[in-house]
């Protein structure tokens, strides 16, 4: 969703976005107490700005909805680990 500013709209156009993010594991990594899941779902929320209708710069925060790790066996010291991803992403793009 872009926000059109009356005078500065030709130079700067801020926008906000939200939506799901799906990720899939292609390289299997074996750990001692943990096993990676094959897929992960998170919800991204972010904002950005489009400059001169050709450059976009944005930042997003991803909130993990599913567990990215599966615990192998019951470990008391690891019982409080949730295993959900949380991430910040900063992106720059050139539109042509």
Domain boundaries, the chain: 8-94
In angstroms, rounded to a whole number, what is the distance separating the alpha carbons of residues 46 and 3? Answer: 14
Which uninterrupted H or E stretch holds 56?
strand 55-67
Cα atoms in the 13 Å half-sphere on the side-chain side of 93: 11
Contact predicate 68/81, CB 8 Å: no
| Cβ neighbours of residue 73 closer than 8 Å, sequence gap 6 or more | 33
Q: Express each pLDDT in 4-57 by its tens digit.
A: 666 666 788 889 999 999 888 776 665 556 666 677 889 999 999 999 889 999
Reading the block at residue 1, the tokens are 């969703």
**Residue 57: predicted pLDDT:** 96
Q: Express each pLDDT in 42-75 by its tens digit.
A: 999 999 999 988 999 999 999 988 887 766 565 5
């Amino acid at each position: 969703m872009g926000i059109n500013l009356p005078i500065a709209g030709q130079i700067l156009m801020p926008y906000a976005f939200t939506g799901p993010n799906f990720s899939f594991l292609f390289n299997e990594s074996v750990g001692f107490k943990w096993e990676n899941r094959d897929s992960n779902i998170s919800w991204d929320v972010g904002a950005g700005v489009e400059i001169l209708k050709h450059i976009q710069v944005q930042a997003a925060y991803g909130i993990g909805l599913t567990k990215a790790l599966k615990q192998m066996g019951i470990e008391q010291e690891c019982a409080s680990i949730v295993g959900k991803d949380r991430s910040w992403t900063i992106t720059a793009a050139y539109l042509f």
